Structure 1
């Protein structure tokens, strides 16, 4: 194989790698980081809930992710919707109380203005896998 042909092939591979790296970097930067994120582990240590919110100019999205043991692998994740209407972050401080069977959580939160509110997540009702 000639040196010229080898240089062309290596240059093409390098060009594709830079192109894909640049695209991946742009996608990574486009994904917003949560404005707030809180985690709590159940008393048994088998379940963890991550509660977070991402705020945009005119609204915020509130989500929870429940991690629990899976029969198919190490961890199963369930996404849980949280119905809160807000334009500013609400989870300045957050307290999680697990139900006795660890299938529900009562969440109490305080926003930056000091106002408190709360909600209950029933994993069978509010979460999908």
Structure 2
């Protein structure tokens, strides 16, 4: 008789990237995900208890930022970079402010790249 662990352990010759997908699909067919708590409801991002999967200490920081309606620096920089690029796209190359704006944009890009979380791609410097 096999228990759940034996059934869900791949034979060495059969292990592949699709093995886990097969297990999840089979569990879905059997309805094992049908009665999970909170099914069909939005995730409560304002909860008062820390997320056990989040980086240690990030819960409190995120809560303080959220309560004060402040975004992390890298998100604010991303918005500002987008606005600066739009300004450069809509103003002529001989505009008197252009070179100063390009320098400011590239400074923001460097700061963004230093502050963004891992997994977010670096932004390239603006060049004409």
TM-score after normalising by structure 2: 0.25
TM-score after normalising by structure 1: 0.25
Indicate the structure (1 or 2) with the bigger Cα radius of gyration: 2
Q: Which has the higher strand share?
A: 1
